[in-house]
Amino acid sequence: MALRVIPVDPFDLVIFGATGDLARRKILPGLYRRFLAGQMTPESRIIGAARAELTDAAFAQSVQDAIEEFVPAAQRDAASVAAFLALLAYVPIDAKGEGGWAALKGRVRSGVVRAFYFSVAPALFGDLAERLHLHGIADGQSRIVVEKPFGRDLATARALNTALARHFAEEQIYRIDHYLGKETVQNLMAVRFANILFEPLWKAEYIDHVQITVAETVDVEGRGAYYDKSGAMRDMVQNHMMQLLCLIAMEPPYHFDPDAVRDEKLKVIRALDPVKPEDIVRGQYLGANGSGSYVEHSEDPASRTESYVALKCHISNWRWKGTPFYLRTGKKLRARSSEIAITFKEPPHSIFDDDRGWRENVLVIRLQPNEGMNLMVMIKEPGPGGMRLMQVPLDMSFADAVGAEAVDIPDAYERLIMDVIRGNQTLFMRGDEVEAAWAWADPIIQGWEGRGDKPQAYDAGSSGPDDAMMLMHRDGRRWRDIR
Ligand code: BG6
């Protein structure tokens, strides 16, 4: 199955923070892959901007190094890398002063889409927005892209929204949550709304509970200073996991249209009940099997930051009243495994004498690795000897279904940057959505900070703290294995 690539209009993309980690790992290698695929055409330009005094050639060299490091050798070739590097320029810039802005103005063209990627600390968002405006570099058609963390609570998120809104309309602001760019996450919407099969059952009447797991094996990867002030709740739950929950729980939007989708997500967040303290477990990993403990990455040896969260939440609306959603995420766990599992209720009446083999139907949507879907169904155990039941998977692996071209599927950042150029905000968070998510998360965080709660220890390489197992256990349920 050949993947269809539709080229986007020519653009000028200015990346503030172009020498930073995200630009090196994701944004620039991702743009190269889109160039190679023919989606970004040679009429486009990428202008790096950062504090460092670099020449165009030195910047191009650093981008070449990044491509060599982060794009597999089989997916690049010298000629296309050289052609891509020819589209780059660099401007040293002072976000808080006047240096470099006139030069930047001289670099951007009119008559093409102009986008500005703020891959910098959120404290600089307001300064950049203001200077782009003051120097006449951005106009009413320009787009700005901002990264998480979008605030650390409701008050700071509101302040950021206000600072951006001074110079840009909501239609110009693209708040990235890279989970929305993941292929399987978008697939959630296709599965729900392009099939008649699931939607009639998609409600509390038929669904016992939902589990959302984002398990990581990595630690804080050199970002200890940021992470220690953030923790798993701010780093993963308020944004990525909340988005997954919204896509599962939202009502069908009337159209696959940015505001129609975002309106429905917002309604879910607003319908979330406050989480009770007994329904949340925080954990922090201890060193095990040769790997260090969380506090070894922290500047504070007494850090109470959580590297793991598990919680149970309820959505108070007609569709979901009574169906709990269990969320868990953590670092240094047994395996890298992210999935959504929807467990259905039992049939109203069993007609079989021997139904010992009976298990619930479960729809598992695997986000990573090995993206795909698995529907657990009951069949007759083969062979003679009476009617006994057994559970089998109807298994769909994305790579098998799509074939070798699966390697060409754009990664989350690639997809999202192309959407910015196309002017499609469907997979970006709207300001009110981010604020509503903080309004839900704030009391949870304030609760444990106020009580001075310590996270429960768990071993690196395990499935998380024991209390997280109990969270399910006391409801007569269990987490799926992390493997
Ligand atoms: C980031 C978090 O937003 O998402 C990281 O800041 C986390 O802590 C990462 O590791 C996970 O993303 P992915 O795409 O690897 O699941």
Query: Is the distance from the beta carbon of residue 235 to the nearest atom of ligand 1 less than 6 Å?
Result: yes
Residue 406 clears pLDDT 80, i.e. is over it:
no
Pocket test for ligand 1, best of 179, 212, 234, 306 (most atoms within 8 A of CB): 179
Distances in whole angstroms, Cα of residue 300 to Cα of each of 225, 284, 294, 303, 304: 10, 13, 10, 5, 9
Q: Which helix (H) or strand (E) holds 222?
A: none
**pLDDT at residue 184, rounded to an integer:** 86
Query: What pLDDT band is residue 299 in, cutting at 50, 70 and 90?
Result: confident
Distances in whole angstroms, Cα of residue 285 to Cα of each of 15, 291, 336, 444, 460: 35, 10, 15, 21, 5
Tokens of 131: 């200077």
User: 360 CA distance to ligand 1 centroid (A)?
Assistant: 31
**pLDDT at residue 223, rounded to an integer:** 84
Query: Is the distance from the beta carbon of residue 216 to the nearest atom of ligand 1 less than 6 Å?
Result: yes
Distances in whole angstroms, Cα of residue 203 to Cα of each of 182, 189, 322, 330: 25, 16, 10, 28
Residue 404 clears pLDDT 70, i.e. is over it:
no
Distances in whole angstroms, Cα of residue 137 to Cα of each of 104, 116, 130, 182, 462: 8, 10, 10, 32, 51
Q: Is 19 left (phi over 0), alpha (psi -120 to 50) or beta?
A: alpha
Q: For ligand 1, what atom is nearest to the CA of residue 338?
A: 16
Residue 1 clears pLDDT 80, i.e. is over it:
no
Instruction: Give the list of residues 6+ apart from residue 103 with CB closer than 8 angstroms, or none.
Output: 91
Residue 355 clears pLDDT 90, i.e. is over it:
no
**Using alpha carbons only, how large is the chain's radius of gyration in Å?**
24
Tokens of 145: 């892209």
Residues above pLDDT 90, as percent of the chain: 84
Amino acid at 378: M
Q: Higher confidence at residue 77 or residue 404?
A: 77
State the distance between the two ends of the chain, measured CA to CA, in whole angstroms.
30
**pLDDT at residue 237, rounded to an integer:** 98
Residue 138 clears pLDDT 90, i.e. is over it:
yes
Give the catalytic positions in this structure. Answer: 240
Residue nearest to atom 2 of ligand 1 (CA): 235
Of 469, 233, 209, 239, the closest CA to residue 315 belongs to 209
Determine the average pLDDT of the residues in 67-83: 95
The CA dihedral of 173, 178, 179, 181, to the nearest 10 degrees, is 80
Please state, in angstroms and rounded to a whole number, the distance separating the CA atoms of residues 440 and 452.
20
The CA dihedral of 325, 331, 332, 337, to the nearest 10 degrees, is 50
What are the tens digits of pLDDT across the range 408-441? 678 899 999 999 999 999 999 999 999 999 999 9
Determine the average pLDDT of the residues in 56-71: 97
Determine the average pLDDT of the residues in 50-79: 96
Please state, in angstroms and rounded to a whole number, the distance separating the CA atoms of residues 186 and 398.
13
Tokens of 288: 């095990």
- The average confidence (pLDDT) of the chain is 94
Instruction: Give the list of residues 6+ apart from residue 67 with CB closer than 8 angstroms, or none.
Output: 28, 29, 32, 76, 81, 84
User: 186 CA distance to ligand 1 centroid (A)?
Assistant: 17
